[in-house]
Amino acid sequence: MANSEQKDLRVGTLNWVYRELIPDTPNNKPPVVMLHGLVCQSYSWRDVMPALGEYGFRSIAPDWIGHGSSSKPDIRQFDYKQETYIQALSDYLDALELDRFSLVVQGFLGVTGLLYAAQNPDKIERLIILNTPLPPTADLPFRVKMMGWPFVGDMMTQDPLLVDRTLEGAGPYQVADEDLDIYRRPFLKSSDVGRALMWTIRAMKVPQITEQIAQGFADWQPPTLVAWGQSDPWLSAEGAKDFANGLANGDYVGLDQVGHYAQEDWAEKVSEAIVPFLRQQDML
């Protein structure tokens, strides 16, 4: 079985660092693009990608701009607003020459992927949503909001231990030390990642975004799976079920004992949910 490789791609002034797994025996299906959430990285998909590769799926997982090893531009060059993120994502996917793909989104940054999908439904083969704000009642948790506050946010986002507190505070498990080391590394290398996180949170207006999602998905047709870590302390499973039930081709599956960062908490359960859903293409 092939392993994922870390690559980078320059798109305009931005450098995207991403993981890609090309299977030994491709299945000729559209590739799968996986987007991580706040205070996270493409590393979180490390155990899901081989499960997809086992069934012939090429998978691509980028570090968002401002996260991981991708560019962390100054706010004067990149304002970290949703429309700016959507355009950056669109440019990145175009540079990869992806005309059609399945999309997996997770977390609060996952809303960018959903808004992109709503604007480009013809590009989306299948959509998978993991613990991403969906109903109008969703909002950033208080502690994450604090990361965007003046003065307080400046201090919080420069502390590498915020990674531990955030990843472990959003689910029922401790993250292994060797994995936390990788998540902390960007914060230890440069203050830019903390500032980018602060600017991202400051610009994120979740109630307005979920309203845009509701409008954008009113006539959504591509098959969609909402797979939900039910031990998420931040986002309601009931809102996720309602969203899935409101789609023409939506389905919901609950992931027991899994938190907000589902792919980090229990990659096997995530894989068991999404691989059969993606393989259903064979029966269409």
The 3-state secondary structure of the chain reads CCCCEEEEEEECCEEEEEEEECCCCCCCCCCEEEECCCCCCHHHHCCCHHHHHHCCCCEEEECCCCCCCCCCCCCCCCCCCHHHHHHHHHHHHHHCCCCCEEEEEECCCHHHHHHHHHHCHHHEEEEEEECCCCCCCCCCCHHHHHCCCCCHHHHHCCCCHHHHHHHHHCCCCCCCHHHHHHHHHHHHHCCHHHHHHHHHHHHCCHHHHHHHHHHHCCCCCCCEEEEEECCCCCCCHHHHHHHHHCCCCEEEEEECCCCCCHHHHCHHHHHHHHHHHHHHHHHC
The amino acid sitting at 258 is V
> Of 1 and 229, which is predicted with more confidence?
229
Q: For residue 146, how far is the Cα from the chain centroid?
A: 21
Instruction: Please report which confidence band the pLDDT of residue 58 belongs to, taking 50, 70 and 90 as the band edges.
Output: very high
pLDDT of 1 > 90? The answer is: no
The pLDDT tens digits of the residues spanning 144-187 come to 999 999 999 999 999 999 999 999 999 999 999 999 999 999 99
Instruction: Please report which confidence band the pLDDT of residue 8 belongs to, taking 50, 70 and 90 as the band edges.
Output: very high
The pLDDT tens digits of the residues spanning 186-244 come to 999 999 999 999 999 999 999 999 999 999 999 999 999 999 999 999 999 999 999 99
pLDDT of 283 > 80? The answer is: no
- The pLDDT, as a whole number, for residue 195 is 97
Average pLDDT over residues 129-135: 97
pLDDT of 282 > 50? The answer is: no
CATH fold for the domain made of 5-138+206-283: Rossmann fold (3.40.50)
Instruction: Please report which confidence band the pLDDT of residue 284 belongs to, taking 50, 70 and 90 as the band edges.
Output: very low
Report the C-alpha gap between 202 and 144 in whole angstroms: 10
Report the C-alpha gap between 99 and 18 in whole angstroms: 18
Report the C-alpha gap between 167 and 92 in whole angstroms: 27
Domain map of the chain by residue range?
5-138+206-283
Kindly report the length of the chain.
Answer: 284
- The pLDDT, as a whole number, for residue 281 is 58
- The pLDDT, as a whole number, for residue 2 is 75
- The pLDDT, as a whole number, for residue 3 is 81
Report the C-alpha gap between 26 and 14 in whole angstroms: 30
User: Please, which contacts does 2-9 make with residues 24 or more away whose CB atoms are closer than 8 Å?
Assistant: 2/53, 3/50, 4/46, 4/49, 4/50, 4/59, 4/61, 6/69, 8/69, 9/92, 9/95, 9/96
For residues 147 and 38, is the Cβ–Cβ distance under 8 A?
no
The amino acid sitting at 199 is W
